Chain A
Amino acid sequence: MVVVENTPKVHNLVVCTLCSCYPWSVLGLPPVWYKSAPYRSRAVIEPRGVLREFGLELPDDVEVRVWDSTAELRYLVLPERPAGTENLTEEELAALVTRDAMIGVAKVVPPQPEGKT
């Protein structure tokens, strides 16, 4: 398994253009959209547009790295730690991490203040 780290300047995205390779042992079976033609076809040619469809707009100065899982290596994104989480425990941080963030189509969102929706 290869883990690729997101930083304020680098955003990683995982795809399998040829079939549906995915880190089963860590994330379970992939969601339908990950295996679908729209995602597989466009993630490599138009990653910023794909991310926009997921509601993630990346600034121009961020470097996008797409990982096409063409061999038996499996890729996992280590999401960027969100601001304002300095006092959270490992357990609380782990609870914020989503499957989508580990594929690279979402960021980890800091916990919302109490009473706000």
Chain B
Amino acid sequence: MNGIHDMGGMQDMGPIRYEKNAPVFHAPWEGRSFVLNLAASAWGRWNIDARRYQIELIPPADYLRMSYYERWTERLVELLVKTGLVTREEIESGKPAPGSPKTPPPLTAEKVRVFSSERNARRDVPVHPRFTVGHRVRARNMNPTGHTRLPRYARGKLGTVHLDHGVYVFPDTNAHFLGEKPQHVYSVRFAARELWGDQAAPQDSVYVDMWDDYLEPA
């Protein structure tokens, strides 16, 4: 979806606000929202791509107005309701509906480990890579209304395959529970001038991780 989340290359978003000695969380509710998101994901009702897509569904004006953890909280509520883990009424009241079933939580303290999306999304299956290092490629010009990790600024642009990272779950289908469609992910180098024109320095570049389906031979 051509949403506000896909903001690479936009301008006039204001200065970068650097905070010295910033705390990890700026209020206790932020930490709570963070761990609730991870703990609720352990139910297995959604995957990381569906989680990202749910944030992308926040309307652009709201997305920009909300803080990072406000978005996380909004996303969690929507996913919990959508998958039937809680009802909208329960969220509003803050209390479980009378007679609602109780099940033990899938995530317990001893199961918590360092989160690794890299490990979780990698698939050890033989898939033929359509491209090899050094190949000239063009990022497809596509504008899906669902989830994609192909940023707008790279679409239609020419690049060179720099690395083959191996085989990973494809977010465009996985986010919508349409299968993992495992395929190669490449690091593709785009010259900054190919992306931005003459205003960019001639030697600069942007490396974008691209799934096989995002690319065509150039």
Contact = CB atoms under 8 A, between A and B. Distances in A.
Q: State yes or no: do A and B come from one complex.
A: yes
Interface of A: 1-2, 15, 17-21, 24-25, 28-29, 31-33, 35-48, 50, 53-54, 60, 63-74
Nearest to A72: B121
B168 A64 contact: no
A41 B4 CA distance: 10
Interface stretch (B94-102, B110-118, B128-136): B110-118
B46 interface: no
A48 B206 CA distance: 13
A53 B14 CA distance: 11
- Per DSSP, chain A at the interface is mixed
Interface of B: 5-11, 13-19, 22, 24, 26, 34, 52, 55, 64, 68, 114-118, 120-122, 149-151, 153, 163, 165, 168, 185, 187, 192, 195-196, 200-201, 203-211
B68 A32 contact: yes
A45 B8 contact: yes
Contacts, number: 144
A20 B68 CA distance: 9
Contact of B55 (A19, A28, A41): A19
Name which of A15, A17, A33, A50 has the most chain B CB atoms within 10 A of its CB.
Answer: A17
B24 A33 contact: no
Query: What are the 4 A-B residue pairs with the smallest beta carbon separation, nearest first?
Result: A17-B8, A71-B209, A41-B10, A72-B121
B8 A41 contact: yes
Given A37-B13, A70-B208, 4 more contacts: A2-B187, A66-B204, A68-B8, A70-B149
Given A18-B6, A28-B24, A44-B8, A64 B122 contact: no
A57 to B, nearest CB: 13
